[in-house]
Amino acid sequence: MSWFIETCTSSLGKKYIMAVTGLLLGGFLLVHAAGNSSIFWGRNAFISYAVHLHSLGVLVNIFEVMLLAVFLVHVSTGLVLFLENRNTRPSRYQVERSAGGRTWGSRTMPYTGLVILAFLLLHLANFHFTDHDLPIADIVTPILSNPFYTLLYGIGMAALALHTSHGFWSLFQSLGINHPRYDRAIRFLAWLGCALIIGVFTCILLLMLLAGGSLQP
């Protein structure tokens, strides 16, 4: 067991944890985006998707608990890494310049992560910890047709776009998957995953803002 603890607490072990949990969370986001895209087919399609999902009963609860666990591990490991890395340079450089490796995504990882965390709390308060007497479409519509919420959700999406733009590529590197043979494929897949998730959610936001009140049945 000691090897397990040593591995998990080592610098590389923490990378593996971030990579594996990041991959799982990314997978969840893809499924979540695919499910929610049923709203493009109208109010009834969306409601029936939700009803089907919840007919899985206890499976949904098990899945939620697992997702929460993965999420907490990702956030807490990320925080540990952020705090540890903060004092690895005792004095700052007078001239701080990038040699060209960093991206907007990579340099903002901890901050976008925290924005996403705040966004998720709002998102759960809006749609999860709320009265579920009404059909889901009627809970979602009044909130998301409010431009104030479009703005808040837009900020959440922007943070998610930045975070995943680095994270989806980075997780492969952390797991040791980097080879000339499939370098391009991984970069493309990482980009595609990011674009799909952000694209679908942004379209839903715009749809609800512009036509939320008059969703076709």
Partner 1 sequence: MAGKKITITVKIWRQVGPETEGRFEEHRLEEIDPDMSFLEMLDVLNEKLTLAGRQPVAFDHDCREGICGMCGAVVDGIAHGPEEETTLCQLHMRHFRDGETICIEPFRARGFPLVRDLVVDRSAFDRIIQAGGYVSVNTGSARDGNTIPVAQNVAEQAMDAAACIGCGACVAACPNGAAMLFVSGKISQFALLPQGRPERGRRALAMVRAMDAEGFGNCGNERECEKVCPKGLSIRNIARLNREYLRAALMGDE
The burial of 62, by beta-carbon neighbours within 10 Å (0-12 exposed, 13-18 middle, 19 or more buried), is given as exposed
Q: Rule CB under 8 A: is residue 148 a binding residue for partner 1?
A: no
Window 20 to 59, contacts with partner 1 (CB under 8 A): none
Alpha carbon of residue 64 to chain centroid: 15
21 and 73 Cβ atoms separated by less than 8 Å: yes
Question: Amino acid letter at 203?
Answer: C
Q: Which is nearer to partner 1, 22 or 212 (CB)?
A: 22
Buried b (16+ CB within 10 A) or exposed e, 9-36: eeeeebbbbbbbbbbbbbeebeeebeeb
Q: Which is nearer to partner 1, 9 or 216 (CB)?
A: 9
Angle between helices 109-127 and 147-174 in degrees, nearest 10: 130
Among 97, 148, 181, 214, binds partner 1 (CB under 8 A): 97
Q: Rule CB under 8 A: is residue 198 a binding residue for partner 1?
A: no
Among 57, 89, 131, 184, binds partner 1 (CB under 8 A): 89
144 and 126 Cβ atoms separated by less than 8 Å: no
The nearest distance, CB 115 to partner 1, in angstroms, is 17
Select the span of 33-41, 91-99, 151-159, 203-211 touching partner 1 (CB under 8 A): 91-99
Structure tokens at 130: 């709320």
The nearest distance, CB 193 to partner 1, in angstroms, is 16
Among 2, 55, 57, 94, binds partner 1 (CB under 8 A): 94
Q: How many residues in the shown chain lie near partner 1 by CB under 8 A?
A: 43
Q: Binding residues for partner 1, per CB under 8 A? A: 3, 6-7, 10-16, 81, 84-85, 87-102, 106-107, 109, 166, 169-170, 173-180
